[in-house]
Structure 1
């Protein structure tokens, strides 16, 4: 197979620095978290929320998301960890197999809900604020797959085909995940991680535009994020060739999950079409007092004072004399 051009992979994705192991995948995830937190602070405070709320939610959501992502991965790929000849303890090793985005979103979302419930704050405006930053973090995280030479599609001769290098570890064995490239191109494949990365960025732009153009509220930005991401993931997943659990014949389970989630998100987006954006007071957890309700106590007080004066006048009579009985 000959190609006019191709995309090179990094020569390595893991570095040993003394007793420490530095993984590019982890750095990409961490970078995404930092950028997402910073952007969420800007978006949430612009809506009336507090920056400290974002930090608290991040502290709770990150570990919960990692746990949830791993749980989803182990459940959907259980054959890799349980059964004859398998080490079930590998299920706890997140460097072996990675994480599943839907589990991360679910568990992370539950953690955020718990924090906001404790603070007596509404969930919807926070979800709308965090939606574009989350998807941008996912796009950045996909760069980790590039360093790991993983999650790619079938062989291709397209100009954007990805070069998969042969990597050799310190013992001289082929180890494409943790070894170092010797320059030999093993194959050219479709960079499905890049497809998803580009798709995510496009949806981020759509979310920001729609949020500003229509002043979305009530969690509808988050619903649009879920719908947009799952729509693209459904088709991109069908291009991947890495081992995965399949259902209904040869359909990858992540495609099925994406399809179901897409339908649910679109339905919720439609059903909540009458929702409006929350006021800054509502975002901050303050219940605004209606102007007419605020006026009622004052009116009652004035009426009471007027009645007292009238009673006094009736009692004293003209010129302060006692009125006849």
Structure 2
């Protein structure tokens, strides 16, 4: 049995002149690369052209980044950002400050726009994209681990972590013994991995016959139920949360759980549209060239 694990990993991989390569940025990019490859496999298996993956990836990147940033600004620190002197700090994404609930809202809006503009069924898109989002969530939480951020409360479990860098930044008295904490980033990363396995198994079993809304409903319900529960093991991110009966992560999770349950209970029950629809255009025939004109002499 382990007494504890000392975590003193630098968030920086390398310094390349004026550029800083960070683990968080690398894992954030990896989330989209892995997701693109996975979504290509899913689309091809359902006879949907992989060219749509490039299109939806653009929507997803914009929706995720903008939603996550605005979520942090509006949900966690509006008093700072929504002032005249700090308003333009909103655009300094490299300084940190991304909220997963904001990213969720951004993804929902981005996929709605993609579906509307390209004649896909909205829930069909969501049912496939949540498989990808599960892997992305795992990568992001590992990035949080590398940053020694979003840490857990004190604990004496044998797998507790001593977050050396967190304590050095947040403690004024260096003589105070460092605390042992829950590695909640790992809990969430592992849950996302399990959730990915479940969603991929169900999709692989049904593919084109996947009940419309099943995967999305499961994902939202399970992910945010787990998020609600794991927040009891986390330190609050902002001081104002100490005055609330539930922290902000839990408050924002509740409506998403209800939405997930509503979609899940209705999954596949629309007799006119049980499985959703998408352009089945993987093997579209090439355009027929015009007949050659006869040569006259």
The TM-score normalised by the length of structure 2 is: 0.80
Query: Residues of 1 paired with 2:22 and 2:241: CA distance?
Result: 29
2:218 is the counterpart of 1:218: no
Larger RCO: 1 or 2 (CA < 8 Å, sep 6+):
2
The TM-score normalised by the length of structure 1 is: 0.74
For 1:292, the equivalent position in structure 2 comes to none
For 2:80, the equivalent position in structure 1 comes to 81
User: What runs of 5+ residues in structure 2 fail to find an aligned partner?
Assistant: 171-175, 282-297
Structure 1 counterpart of 2:223, from 229, 238, 250: 229
Do the aligned partners of 1:25 and 1:148 also contact (CA within 8 Å) in 2? yes
Q: 1:140-171 CA distances to partner (integer Å, 9 max, x unpaired)?
A: 11111111111111122212111211489xxx
User: What runs of 5+ residues in structure 1 fail to find an aligned partner?
Assistant: 169-173, 177-183, 287-325
For 1:299, the equivalent position in structure 2 comes to none
Query: Residues of 2 paired with 1:48 and 1:217: CA distance?
Result: 17
Query: Residues of 1 paired with 2:193 and 2:166: CA distance?
Result: 30
Map 1:138-177; keep pairs closer than 5 Å: 138-166=137-165, 175=169
Query: Residues of 2 paired with 1:76 and 1:270: CA distance?
Result: 29
Query: Residues of 2 paired with 1:162 and 1:41: CA distance?
Result: 38
For 1:107, the equivalent position in structure 2 comes to 106
Aligned to 1:81, the other structure's residue is in SS state: helix
Do the aligned partners of 2:221 and 2:258 also contact (CA within 8 Å) in 1? yes
Deviates more, 1:113-122 or 1:137-146: 113-122
Deviates more, 1:201-210 or 1:240-249: 240-249
The alpha-carbon distance between structure 1 residues 222 and 158, as it changes in their structure 2 partners (threshold 3 A), is same
Query: Residues of 2 paired with 1:66 and 1:39: CA distance?
Result: 20
Query: Residues of 1 paired with 2:190 and 2:177: CA distance?
Result: 25
How many angstroms does 1:82 deviate by?
A: 4.5
Do the aligned partners of 1:124 and 1:217 also contact (CA within 8 Å) in 2? no
For 1:202, the equivalent position in structure 2 comes to 194
Query: Residues of 1 paired with 2:268 and 2:243: CA distance?
Result: 34
For 1:66, the equivalent position in structure 2 comes to 65
The structure number with the bigger radius of gyration is: 1
For 2:259, the equivalent position in structure 1 comes to 264
How many angstroms does 1:39 deviate by?
A: 0.3
RMSD of aligned alpha carbons: 2.8
Aligned to 1:21, the other structure's residue is in SS state: strand
